Amino acid sequence: MDFVYSCLNFGSIVLPYRLLVGSQFAFGDTVIKTLLAGSVFFFGLTAFVLLRYPDSLVDKVWVAIRGMVAGILLMIALTEGMLM
C-alpha cells in the first residue's frame, strides 16, 4: 500500500510540478529527482513498519503513530521533490 501511495502522490504532484516549473531541466533529470523523493518516502515508511513489526500493523496506537510518521515523511519528501 505504501508503494501505491508513493506512486500516486509523487506521480500526480511532484512530477507535473517539476515538468511545468522546471522545464529548463532535462526530462531524465526531472524523473530521477521525482523517483528519489518517492523513494525517500517509501523506504522511510517501510523502515518504520519493519522496526515496529507487528505492532505497527496491529496495535491501534502504533497504527496511529505510523499515520503521523507517514504524514511527516510525505511532507518532507514532497518538499524535497519539488525544491530539489
Closest CA to 7 of 35, 43, 29: 35
pLDDT digits (tens, 9 = 90+) for 33-76: 888 888 999 999 899 888 888 877 888 888 898 889 999 999 99
Cis peptide before 16 (omega within 30 of 0): no
pLDDT confidence band for 9 (50 / 70 / 90): confident
Please give the residue that has the higher pLDDT: either 38 or 27.
38
Q: What is the pLDDT of residue 25?
A: 66
CB atoms within 10 A of CB 26: 9
Q: What is the pLDDT of residue 13?
A: 87
pLDDT confidence band for 23 (50 / 70 / 90): low
3-state DSSP assignment of residue 64:
helix
Measured distance CA(41)–CA(11) in Å, rounded: 13
